[in-house]
Structure 1
């Protein structure tokens, strides 16, 4: 969705967009970046692959073209490669406070690969709120998939009665897992996902989620890139777009 909106916004301003997927391979990412530079692209927007391989950003620096990091930051040189993402920490903090206000006694954080920057960022707000409440945190890390969420249901301690998930796929898997064992979401267990994908409002019970305005974020990214290319106005080194909490039945127990 981000790539589509970015492409359409740039197209409206007269720019053609080339989209490439490195499939989380840093070496392949470096090759793709090199190829694009050779073909004379005007700028790059990179959601970088994790890993030590490749020299994508060094190539970009040598080429001297504008380049932004979005959603993930793997190069610390944000003065050269500005970083823009969502305020994930605020999102998980808000989700955790919401669950506490609904009466949750012990809240888990479920999903995301341990040690990855985006996992730690999404978890940080949860940890801060749990610490503030004097409660004991519990994290269960793994792939950001429905399958992991389904299996996670059987791995939670008995006293955990709520969870903030790394993303909606994990939460949707947990929703299925609780349905399988006959546990009522919104009453016996309270659940909040992250990203607010379309499925959240279409499943039953409807899934509460931290919403990220991808369309607005993509348009703002395009506008910032255009200002950089056309007017020499470099985006700020780091920008965090606000997020919102959409509370639904899985955490409130209330019918829509």
Structure 2
């Protein structure tokens, strides 16, 4: 069975009525032992799992949605999760949120647990796993599931993918720096060969190639620590690099700290652009230029697409990329006189 078995399937397998199965699940003493044994055997054969808490939620007319996030420590993903959760709540849906911390094993565990607890569907910003493995349990359960922000399963007809137009964002950021007269621009951050890194780098490569300039890529975990270390290493080994497009704002904020430690004035001696435009970009000094993804709006739209799928049967498009824009601030445009 390719979908999640239901009480009707159990009744059919056992050769009894749906109400009889319901009585067995409720522990009714009116059911004969022989009939109870038939129902138990059918449930075991079909892999049917009854969860009383989920049944109570359904009885109270409350839907349950699983929200699986790869890194809730990152403000970008936190904002997405908060926006999606609030959208579901406005429509009367409860949300189960899990942070997988980029751990494929943890991801499999929380997905299985959410299925057992009776979620109606999933929004999954996934940790990276082998193709078709990460969502296999969801496929077997027959539940609606959207991949958001990252794509780990190529079967987007089954698991629609919604993300942001990272390629355009990388191109806008790079063209901006080149338009300021820079010629030696690096791309900093992101794990090498990961799809999201390639997507964010694609526009950088296009812009550099159009200008006839070589690319310089410095890969690593998208953290402040990596950004700081890379800034210090760049000043020591590649002082000719004039600016950087960063994989994420966290990397860029780390670079701000490292460049300050090295005595480099960002916005004057070095130009810097982040990616995501988290709140801190406008609060740091110098204020950080960044590719705005409007992840709060994206979270709302992703949740609304899932709700339309659950309530109206309207499956989202196989692939959807939301627009982005470049927000120019002092870190690239220049410090005030």
Distance 1:4 1:50 in 2: 22
Deviation digits for residues 87-117 of structure 1 (CA, Å, limit 9, x no counterpart): 1110010000000111111110001111111
Deviation digits for residues 68-99 of structure 1 (CA, Å, limit 9, x no counterpart): 00011000000000000111110010000000
Distance 2:203 2:101 in 1: 29
1:216 is the counterpart of 2:297:
yes
Unaligned runs of 5+ in 2: 1-78
Distance 1:211 1:202 in 2: 15
Instruction: Tell me the TM-score normalised to structure 1 length.
Output: 0.96
Give the aligned partner of residue 206 of structure 2.
128
Give the aligned partner of residue 24 of structure 1.
102
Q: 1:205 aligns with which of 281, 286, 300?
A: 286
Deviation digits for residues 47-82 of structure 1 (CA, Å, limit 9, x no counterpart): 111133994411111111110000110000000000
Contact 1:82–1:235 under 8 Å retained in 2: yes
Query: Measured at CA, do residues 127 and 140 of structure 1 come closer, stay the same or move farther in structure 2, by a change above 3 Å?
Result: same
Distance 1:239 1:158 in 2: 40
Give the aligned partner of residue 83 of structure 2.
5
Contact 1:109–1:166 under 8 Å retained in 2: yes
Give the aligned partner of residue 175 of structure 1.
256
Q: 1:66 aligns with which of 141, 144, 162?
A: 144
1:184 is the counterpart of 2:286:
no
Deviation digits for residues 170-221 of structure 1 (CA, Å, limit 9, x no counterpart): 1111111221222221121110001111111111111101111111101111
User: How far does residue 254 in structure 1 lie from its aligned partner after superposition?
Assistant: 4.3
Of 79-88 and 18-27, deviating more is: 18-27
Give the aligned partner of residue 274 of structure 2.
193
User: How far does residue 151 in structure 1 lie from its aligned partner after superposition?
Assistant: 1.2
Deviation digits for residues 13-70 of structure 1 (CA, Å, limit 9, x no counterpart): 1110001122212122112111211221111111111133994411111111110000
Of 20-29 and 5-14, deviating more is: 20-29
- Between the two proteins, the alignment pairs up a number of residues equal to 256
Moved >6 Å (runs of 4+): none
Distance 2:131 2:326 in 1: 37
Distance 1:122 1:68 in 2: 21
Contact 1:28–1:54 under 8 Å retained in 2: no
Distance 1:81 1:46 in 2: 10
Unaligned runs of 5+ in 1: none
Q: 2:112 aligns with which of 25, 29, 34?
A: 34
Deviation digits for residues 125-150 of structure 1 (CA, Å, limit 9, x no counterpart): 10111011100100111121111111
Contact 1:43–1:66 under 8 Å retained in 2: yes
Distance 2:106 2:253 in 1: 31
- Structure number with greater Rg is 2
Of 71-80 and 144-153, deviating more is: 144-153
Distance 2:104 2:272 in 1: 34
Please list, as runs of the form range in 1=range in 2, the aligned pairs for 1:82-161 lying within 5 A after superposition: 82-156=160-234, 157-161=238-242
Of 74-83 and 34-43, deviating more is: 34-43
Instruction: Tell me the TM-score normalised to structure 2 length.
Output: 0.73
Contact 1:27–1:53 under 8 Å retained in 2: no
Contact 1:30–1:54 under 8 Å retained in 2: no
Contact 2:131–2:152 under 8 Å retained in 1: no
